Amino acid sequence: MKSNFENLAKRIIKFRDDRNWKQFHNPKDMAISLVLESTEFLEHFQWKNNEEIEAHLKNKKKDIADELADVLYWVLLIANDLDIDLRQALDSKMIKNEIKYPVHKAKGNHLKYTELENK
């Protein structure tokens, strides 16, 4: 990513503060908003086969990017309000993922980590 989380979050928080919207942003409604925006992203792929998705990705890339940005908007805002350091959280989660999905077991397959135990 070219921009760091802090700069992105600053812009979003200013956008919210300028509109006095923090009063509406409790954790429950922000979590709902995150999922709603995720489903708007998901909607781009609904009912399409692989060929149609390929064409849609070319023709609607900006719209898809908008929805992905909406998801990121809520991720950054929620992390800010819940005092979660996203960089640290991502680092920590990736360490867990690396342990769950060791390369020698996970490379080239899509099994869930619970299934890798038997490999």
Per CB under 5 A, residues contacting Mg ion are 37, 40, 67, 70
CB 69 → Mg ion: shortest distance, Å? 8
CB 33 → Mg ion: shortest distance, Å? 9
Q: For 36-63, b where at least 16 C-beta lie within 10 A, e where not — what string?
A: ebbebbeebeeeeeeeeeeeeeeeeeee
CB of 16 or CB of 67, closer to Mg ion: 67
CB of 46 or CB of 114, closer to Mg ion: 46
Burial of 77 per CB tally in 10 Å (0-12, 13-18, 19+): buried
Ranked by CB distance to Mg ion, the top (closest) residue is 70
CB of 33 or CB of 80, closer to Mg ion: 33
Q: What angle do CA 34, 40, 44 make, to 5 degrees?
A: 145
CB 48 → Mg ion: shortest distance, Å? 19
